[in-house]
Structure 1
Amino acid sequence: MNIAERINAYYEDMVAIRRHLHMHPELSFQETKTAQYIQQFYASLTIPFRANVGGNGVVATIQGKYPGKTVALRADFDALPIQDEKDVVYKSTVDGVMHACGHDGHTATLLTVARILHEMRDELTGTYVFIHQHAEELDPGGAKAMIEDGCLDGVDVIFGTHLSSNFEVGKVGYRPGPMMAACDSFDIIIQGHGGHGAHPDQTKDAVVIGAQLVMNLQQLVSRRISPIDSAVLSIGGFVADNASNVIADTAKLSGTIRTFTEEVRDKMTTEFYRVLDGTMATADAQYTIDFIKGYPAVVNHEAETLFIRDIAQTLDFVDEAFVMTPTMGGEDFAYYLQHVPGTFFYTGAHPGYDVPHHHPMFDIDERGMQVAAEVLLNAAIRYQQHTL
């Protein structure tokens, strides 16, 4: 059988794995049962693996018959704190937790890829490493800890994909260079001086100060960053809960900053603090801040990205390989790309109705897993003979 035929033969099993995981989701850094499920899968096939890699991570390895390069493939397996509202037989059984981003499909795909490569091992050249990563959704993420625990030791290249509800099945989105943004976040507590709503002159109104800060911060991108560059600063939360006749003593602002380059990232951080300090000084108020420098930008290596493009264009399940527009979403796959060459691409899995990722109605067309598996399998095998 060729690779497409092998994928077809295991398609129902791949769907069953995905649906099992969808019904039993676990939050970031809490994925113990999911990790055990992955371990049991490899154990049943006598594929060697390491458990508890950097936390809940699992790393399995298949050695081909002939010496060659070491190719790593990565899938994440954590879920989100969202209530599953779909009316399907595989609906999440865990209240308030669901796979709303496709990580269940990523895991089912990679397990199937490993199963097929295991069957083909006597025909294969090189070594194949399967990185099952925990905690992609929650900073500091699982990738960094897994790398520190050796998951990339000896690896020559890494490939990863994300199933996307935004693109039709059969479409593969690639992009050399910056593809996904660096993600920083902040929580600010403004300390004013509260009082009676009838006597604002005796207060330092945390709501007014917060509102002024929001407006000042919204000028950073338009007035501090070159129009040629890209950046986003969004305020996601503004809380000061008081009675109608009470002027707020404190207010909390939460938000995120997204950038594609370290230069713009550093400038946004510097200007952010300049505006924050200036606004507080003008209002004679104090603040505390928790500023979290999150995942770096996903910057794909050009040669490996074009390698994926060239492969995708030849495959049975792929209708189109297209250049993606960069997205301001974040991914800790970025850390792997800082250590070894590789690329991260998107695989279409539009479910037949328009719904974004991280939504209570999120789902995928499971045929997208076939596409992802075919690209990953061919990339892993062909890379052994490819000179970039």
Structure 2
Amino acid sequence: MDKNGIRALAEGQRDYMVSLRREFHRRPELAGEEVWTSARIAQELTALGIPFVVDERRNVIGRIEGARPGKRLALRADFDALPMTEATGLPFASENPGVMHACGHDGHAAGLLGAARLLWDLRDQLAGTVYLCFQMGEEQGWGAAEIIEYLKAQGGVDLAVGIHLMPEWEPGTFVCMPGPFMAGAVGWDITVTGRGGHGSAPWNTVDPIRPAAEILLRLGAVQGTRRSSFDHFVISPCMFQAGTGKNIVPDTALISGTNRFFSVPQLKELFALMEGMARDVAASYGATATLVHGPATLPVVNDADAVAVAARAAEQIGGRVEQMVPSLAADDMGDYLQEFPGVYVFGGSAPLQGERLPIHNAGYTINEDALCWSAAFFTALACDFLPGEA
């Protein structure tokens, strides 16, 4: 099918996808709380007749079998929201106080449901299997592991593909390149422990705030002083918590943040450096410091052959393919690409008018033209990767 044919099919689903996107936007749910969203996606797949499973995390995985056996393709979209108060003024703004779709996940889910409709109608023209992977919890690094486990239990997939809508580019632009695309990320806490007491007699205490403040400042000097400026990483201390009263020296002070990285050995070196520095600074004040970190979201590394497949699909529907400097943002699509060949793509969603506010901004919104481009891209890629001709 030519580019105009697939684009026309996707445009025919525009009202359906826009309605769904606005419905998702109006009822956002945080990672781990996506009860309604998961059920709503399942309801749409049921209406289409597409078989699916819902796992214990509330991931929804649909399955479309082509007319003949063939390769296996996973298409992934996330659907969780962020703990933010919306400031868009949209008539379909969030009705869930303090929760907002500020990262485009409402559009991701709607776009993949649009593609599901198209691929279900075109299934007789496919040879192979398409897995429709609707993932919960991306903002917290949840959900991917369970979908990956399910896909491996089915024999794995030959290609995994996802799209993230981004406001930096116009709709119809698809950004991807082989190799490192997005960084890995891991959260950490540094706890400085002293001995609390009365603010009138600090000599009877071991104040944890002063060493914690010094540790905080030293973290910002790691790049360029303790590591090469050519090492691509970010140490982001984003929380500092200490004290409960103006005249109480606390027992502890807490610094929390994230590290962004492109290699696991690099991350291990960073944590060793941070831990040693925190321990030594705290000891100089008579305090102690410990560092703990959670599991890491792995870097997104695009497979070269998969990038070629994605670029061909984008060009087939009349899109523009561009490249960029690798992003230090993170996404657990990287976990899929550690297990299967695949590619993550940024899809342009710049608004028709007004400022191009970044993702995770309270005023962020998408150009809904991007929904048709996403659905067309997924459909063209599936038809190209799973051709039904004998």
TM range (shorter): over 0.9
What TM-score comes out, normalization by structure 1 length?
Answer: 0.93
Q: CA deviation at 1:221?
A: 2.3
Among 34, 39, 43, the residue aligned to 1:36 = 39
Deviations 1:192-246 (A, max 9, x none): 2334445443332222111111122223222333333211111111122455454
The answer as to whether partners of 2:174 and 2:314 remain within 8 angstroms in 1 is yes
Secondary structure of 1:87's counterpart equals coil
Secondary structure of 2:328's counterpart equals coil
More divergent stretch after superposition (196-205 vs 305-314): 196-205
The answer as to whether partners of 1:333 and 1:344 remain within 8 angstroms in 2 is yes
Report the aligned-residue RMSD: 1.9
Secondary structure of 2:317's counterpart equals coil
Once residues 169 and 134 of structure 2 are traced to their aligned partners in structure 1, the CA distance between those partners, rounded to angstroms, is: 24
The AA in structure 1 aligned to 2:348 is G
The answer as to whether partners of 2:20 and 2:110 remain within 8 angstroms in 1 is yes
Structure 1 residues not aligned, in runs of 5+: none
Please give the residue correspondences for 1:102-141 in structure 2 after superposition, counting only pairs within 5 Å.
Answer: 102-139=104-141, 141=142
Q: CA deviation at 1:123?
A: 1.9
Secondary structure of 1:16's counterpart equals helix
Q: CA deviation at 1:128?
A: 1.0
Deviations 1:315-343 (A, max 9, x none): 23x2x211121111111111111111000
Aligned length: 382
Percent identity over the alignment is 33
Q: Is 1:9 matched with 2:33?
A: no
Q: CA deviation at 1:297?
A: 0.7
The AA in structure 2 aligned to 1:182 is G
Secondary structure of 1:83's counterpart equals coil
Among 152, 158, 161, the residue aligned to 1:159 = 161
Secondary structure of 1:328's counterpart equals strand
Q: CA deviation at 1:151?
A: 6.3
The AA in structure 1 aligned to 2:241 is V
More divergent stretch after superposition (349-358 vs 280-289): 280-289
1:44/1:242 CA distance change after superposition, 3 Å: closer
The answer as to whether partners of 2:275 and 2:291 remain within 8 angstroms in 1 is no
Once residues 275 and 290 of structure 2 are traced to their aligned partners in structure 1, the CA distance between those partners, rounded to angstroms, is: 12
Once residues 66 and 268 of structure 2 are traced to their aligned partners in structure 1, the CA distance between those partners, rounded to angstroms, is: 44
Please give the residue correspondences for 1:252-291 in structure 2 after superposition, counting only pairs within 5 Å.
Answer: 252-291=254-293
Among 40, 50, 54, the residue aligned to 2:53 = 50
Secondary structure of 1:149's counterpart equals helix
Deviations 1:102-139 (A, max 9, x none): 11100111011010011111222221110011110113
Secondary structure of 1:357's counterpart equals coil
The AA in structure 2 aligned to 1:120 is L
Once residues 247 and 47 of structure 1 are traced to their aligned partners in structure 2, the CA distance between those partners, rounded to angstroms, is: 61
Q: Which residue of 2 aligns with 1:225?
A: 227
Q: CA deviation at 1:254?
A: 0.9
Q: Which residue of 1 aligns with 2:84?
A: 82
Secondary structure of 2:181's counterpart equals strand
More divergent stretch after superposition (271-280 vs 148-157): 148-157
Secondary structure of 1:338's counterpart equals helix
The answer as to whether partners of 1:163 and 1:369 remain within 8 angstroms in 2 is no
The answer as to whether partners of 1:240 and 1:251 remain within 8 angstroms in 2 is yes
The answer as to whether partners of 2:316 and 2:380 remain within 8 angstroms in 1 is no
Once residues 245 and 123 of structure 1 are traced to their aligned partners in structure 2, the CA distance between those partners, rounded to angstroms, is: 74
Once residues 240 and 87 of structure 1 are traced to their aligned partners in structure 2, the CA distance between those partners, rounded to angstroms, is: 36
The AA in structure 2 aligned to 1:344 is Y
Q: Which residue of 1 aligns with 2:326?
A: 326
Once residues 289 and 115 of structure 2 are traced to their aligned partners in structure 1, the CA distance between those partners, rounded to angstroms, is: 51
Once residues 147 and 120 of structure 1 are traced to their aligned partners in structure 2, the CA distance between those partners, rounded to angstroms, is: 26
Secondary structure of 2:139's counterpart equals coil
The answer as to whether partners of 1:78 and 1:137 remain within 8 angstroms in 2 is yes
1:124/1:150 CA distance change after superposition, 3 Å: closer
Secondary structure of 1:67's counterpart equals strand
Q: Which residue of 2 aligns with 1:182?
A: 184
Once residues 29 and 300 of structure 2 are traced to their aligned partners in structure 1, the CA distance between those partners, rounded to angstroms, is: 25
Secondary structure of 1:257's counterpart equals strand
Please give the residue correspondences for 1:140-151 in structure 2 after superposition, counting only pairs within 5 Å.
Answer: 141-150=142-151
Q: Which residue of 2 aligns with 1:172?
A: 174
The answer as to whether partners of 1:55 and 1:146 remain within 8 angstroms in 2 is no
Once residues 268 and 152 of structure 1 are traced to their aligned partners in structure 2, the CA distance between those partners, rounded to angstroms, is: 35
Once residues 309 and 342 of structure 2 are traced to their aligned partners in structure 1, the CA distance between those partners, rounded to angstroms, is: 10
What TM-score comes out, normalization by structure 2 length?
Answer: 0.93
Once residues 132 and 244 of structure 1 are traced to their aligned partners in structure 2, the CA distance between those partners, rounded to angstroms, is: 48
Deviations 1:343-375 (A, max 9, x none): 001001012322121121111001011112222
The answer as to whether partners of 2:243 and 2:249 remain within 8 angstroms in 1 is no
Secondary structure of 2:71's counterpart equals strand
Q: Which residue of 1 aligns with 2:375?
A: 373
Secondary structure of 2:215's counterpart equals helix
Secondary structure of 1:181's counterpart equals strand
Among 61, 66, 72, the residue aligned to 1:64 = 66
The AA in structure 2 aligned to 1:147 is I
